[in-house]
Amino acid sequence: MSSNADKFLGAAETFPDDALPDHRVYEHPLVQRYATKEMSFVWSPAMKFTTWRKLWTALATAEQELGIVITDEQLEQMRTNLFNVDFELAAEKEAEFRHDVMGHVHAFGEAAPKAMPVIHLGATSCFVGDNTDLVQIRDALKLIKRKLVQVLDILRVFAEEHRELPTLGYTHYQPAQLTTVGKRACLWMQDLLLDLDRVEREIDELPMRGVKGTTGTQASFLELFDGDHEKVKALNKRVCELMNFKKAIPVSGQTYTRKIDFNILSVLSGIAQSAYKMCGDIRLLANLKEVEEPFAKKQIGSSAMAYKRNPMRSERVCSLARYVMSLPNAAANTHANQWFERTLDDSAIRRVILPEGFLACDVILTLLANISDGMVVWPNVVKSHVMAELPFMATEVILMECVKAGGDRQELHEAIRVHSMDAGAVVKGEGKPNDLLERIAKDPLFAAIHSKLETLIDPKLFVGRAPEQVDEFLSDEVKPILEANKALLAQKSVDDVNV
């Protein structure tokens, strides 16, 4: 007789051919689980292939303006069918021609038959491919900018609220001089401001590939315009204008230099680094029970340990950030290995790293906004950690006050040293609270400050200029940027954190 273990092994051995037919294809978790609708749309087939049609229409429009025989009716058909994409027909044509661009040329031609003779006139595949990539990069950067600005505004409120709250500073993850909770948030914001500056620079300076031809020489367009160099230059400029670009890249091979991809992914990597650092801090603070990220009423922290409140959103940020930070290396290798005017080994990897870099970075910023907006600080826990270390930090002040009252500096210093060693032994050896102040309060050598000992160890006396630094940083650096981007602050995201 078979045991239950044998029966299980028999049942589990083979996956039935007819089981779960709708769930047998891999689903990318970045898209299915995390990505926002807005960024997904930027990199969607709908955006990509309608941009191809816009480029073909912009090219034909500019060619007509410069004297090529293209009728208004042809242009009208192209404009009318910008968003009328038959994806099934395009796939059939691609399978027939073994070429994705020509598949879509013919699908566009079916929708705009009178325009078929002039679609893609003088162009190469990279005219639509590369220029569309740059349009998508530009639109994606604008979305990233909006979310960066919104995160900065949320953190501004947090920093203002906690500008004066003393907290332990840490170096080497060991207690150091005090800072404030608001000042620490400003450190996070400083990184994000540097990221925003690079994002804005890339948006402003990003070039279009333009009309360059098969190896970047514009030979086909020079032929089209009967050797008229000025018309070829005008065509390049006009297509850029119609696609809302300020400029085209000055020279190219078949593609725009893949150095641009590296630069863009480096910017995204920078954002990921900033987010990782911020959320790493939050995770450590959560362990200390000083800070908690938002936690839903029915959220489960652990399937086994029901009491847990894990900082799972911050952990997700760090997880995705680690991936984004790895992408510039792939872009660097792709750029370095482009032989002469172009090799096609750039194609497959760019289809992955460009969309995924933006999708992941967008999720990271959505999570940062969510975490920052709902982050809880527990002041009493923060204070308890401060007071556990403050007595050691206050000894210099106590020493100075006693000397001013006529005490012997060397004698006082030795007494503090002995008391500090004994108090440290109690903390580390016996697990008891720091009793240094109690020892000082009982030592007649320090009688001059016994009556004001409590006032000498007010944590706010040990934070330096941290509150003022918060005010100055927000006033001088953050608020002018927020004011310049008020329109972005008013825009609402289509969706929020999914899980």
Q: What is the 3-state secondary structure (H, E, C) of 238-291?
A: HHHHHCCCCCECCCCCCCCCCHHHHHHHHHHHHHHHHHHHHHHHHHHHHHCCCE
Phi then psi for 104, rounded to 5 degrees?
Answer: -80, -30
Range with the poorest average pLDDT among 118-132, 143-157, 302-316, 427-441: 302-316
DSSP conformation class of 175: E
pLDDT higher than 50, residue 307:
no
Residue 1's contacts (CB-CB under 8 Å, 6 or more residues apart) are: none
Q: Which residue from 223, 144, 158 is spatially nearest to 188, judged by alpha carbons?
A: 158
Extract the tokens encoding 249.
């890249």
Cβ of 273: how many Cβ atoms within 10 Å? Answer: 15
Give the pLDDT band of residue 499 (cuts 50, 70, 90): low
What is the H or E stretch that residue 168 is in?
A: strand 166-171
Say how many C-beta atoms besides its own lie within 10 A of residue 240's C-beta.
22
pLDDT value for 296: 60
**Amino acid identity, position 287:** N
Percent of the chain with pLDDT over 90: 82
Model confidence band, residue 433 (pLDDT cutoffs 50, 70, 90): confident
Considering the entire predicted model, what is its pTM?
A: 0.92
What integer pLDDT is reported at residue 498 of this predicted model? Answer: 64
Active site residues: 172, 302
Higher pLDDT, 423 or 182: 182
3-state helix, strand, coil in the chain (%, to 5): 70, 5, 25
Reported residue count of the chain is 499
